Chain A
Amino acid sequence: MTYLHNIGAYFLMIAEMFRKPTKWSVMKQLILKDVDDLIIGSLGIVAFISFFVGGVVTIQTALNINNPLIPKYLVGFATRQSIILEFAPTFMSIIMAGKVGSFITSSIGTMRVTEQIDALEVMGINALNYLVFPKFISMLLYPFIISIAMFLGILGGMAACVYGGFSTLEDYIVGIQTDFETFHVVYAFIKTFAFAFLLATIPSFHGFYMKGGALEVGKASTTSFVWTSVAIIVLNYFLTQMLLS
């Protein structure tokens, strides 16, 4: 019953988020601040993880292709497919559920605990619009992060491939160009937009409706990470089934 209640409350929160909009002059600043916190602030970790995971994917693929009949360019091909289809949109989103998601839950949760949300409501401000809507809008730039993750993942793969001596630079470049389908990138970005929505709203829900003190803020952050990850994995399955089958 609690799960059903929470799912209902989540959808009501989304509807409420669009009501009674905050003054544009204030909202503009909130959006810019959230772009800085959520998007710009995530670039470093995304670049670092993508580059090295791209390298690891390439090494693993190369080590598992030891049949001389299989062409060397397949390492680049497999790396590209893994990174564009799954690693960048899905697994990066799960990492972001930890990074961005816990930031959102803890910052909104702390506002709840310290009565800052009550202060907004007493003033007659729609706290959901004021707090969650700018996060939702700034997360529309999330595909930008994923594009960087794709590029750096493939670049990391190339570095690992060439400097690890698994194949030549030419083979790798041929591999990443082989059988390229534009729709795979479109599919990846459709998923990215859907995950961006979840990343902005599920952690906000857990922060906004939390009860208790500082300990509960920590618990809410953990719960929000778990549920955001679950939602991303489940949605990933359905979107893949719908778009690629």
Chain B
Amino acid sequence: MIEVKNLHKSFGGVEVLKGISTTFEKGKTNLIIGQSGSGKTVFLKCLLGLFDYEEGTIAYDGKIFSQLTEAEKRNMRAKIGMVFQGSALFDSMTIAQNVMFPLKMFTKQSKSEMEDRVDFVLKRVNLDDAHNKMPSEASGGMQKRVAIARAIVNNPKYLFCDEPNSGLDPKTAIVIDNLIQEITDEYQITTVVNSHDMNSVMEIGEKIVFLKNGLKAWEGSNKTIFKTDNEVVTDFVYSSNLFKKVRKMYIDDNE
């Protein structure tokens, strides 16, 4: 579980996060949603420890990150898996080497043990025959799956995904969303997904935190987001005609 209390972050005097407090629960897919410029990426980077913040605390299972020693922070980071928006695979390594990288860096496993683990996670993300391909030879969807495999190979306790299905076709996006949810359930990890894709919200949003102008504007789940009267959320969620129709159908069905 990750607990965030009163998080403030500024850039050059401009306050981007204005006191966010929320909880990301273990074994659930937690979504941070909001318009572009709402502070989602900054919030995610604060959670990951990539940005320092002026005020507030972030606690991983009760341990406040900013109060940890350097060695403790390093140990904590080894428990974090991250899927970047652009996958961030290492260009100079094959897909198998990319996935093996965290094991090489943080474990004392033998080569055969590492290879077995890489085979297992690549199979888990349905990429059992892509070991020797270079990232540049893989499609966008494959790269995302490799990034997920790399993120989970070292059994993380926390999984962060920054817009994991941006740039993917709707079908592949759903495959990625489902994969994230399955992995979260299977390994009981705390997953935080940064997204502005409404399909993801509906598919995997077991907990949703809606940000607007650096503030938490709403909190709920994919079950409650249809019912909310919060104007800020409805403006965002029902901005497309498709979702306006979906909402109408939902309300009509429930009446």
Contacts and interface: CB of A to CB of B under 8 A. Distances in A.
B50 A23 contact: no
Contacts of A214: none
B77 A23 contact: no
Interface in A72-108: none
A123 B77 CA distance: 5
A124 B74 contact: yes
Contact of B84 (A23, A33, A119, A125): A119
A170 interface: no
A116 interface: yes
B77 A118 contact: no
B21 interface: no
Contacts of B91: 110-111, 114, 116
B102 interface: yes
B29 to A, nearest CB: 19
B88 A119 contact: yes
Contact of B86 (A22, A23, A25, A114): A114
Contacts of B160: 122
Contacts of A119: 82, 84, 88, 90
A23 B160 CA distance: 25
A114 B88 contact: yes
Contact of B50 (A111, A114, A116, A122): A122
A115 B105 contact: no
Nearest to A113: B86
A124 B85 CA distance: 19
A26 to B, nearest CB: 6
Nearest to B83: A119
Contact of A123 (B85, B86, B89, B102): B102
Contacts of A23: 104-105
A119 B147 CA distance: 10
A88 B77 CA distance: 46
Contact of A115 (B76, B80, B86): B86
Contacts of A25: 104
B215 interface: no
Given A23-B105, A25-B104, A26-B104, A124 B78 contact: yes
A118 B50 contact: yes
B78 A115 contact: no
B105 A123 contact: yes
Interface in B78-103: 78, 80, 82, 84-86, 88-92, 102
22 contacts: A110-B91, A111-B91, A114-B86, A114-B88, A114-B91, A115-B85, A116-B88, A116-B89, A116-B90, A118-B84, A118-B88, A119-B84, A122-B49, A122-B50, A122-B82, A123-B77, A123-B78, A123-B80, A123-B106, A124-B73, A124-B75, A124-B76
Interface of A: 20, 22-23, 25-26, 33, 110-111, 114-116, 118-119, 121-125
Given A110-B91, A118-B84, A124-B78, 15 more contacts: A20-B70, A116-B89, A116-B91, A118-B50, A118-B88, A121-B50, A122-B48, A122-B49, A122-B80, A123-B77, A123-B78, A123-B102, A124-B75, A124-B76, A125-B105
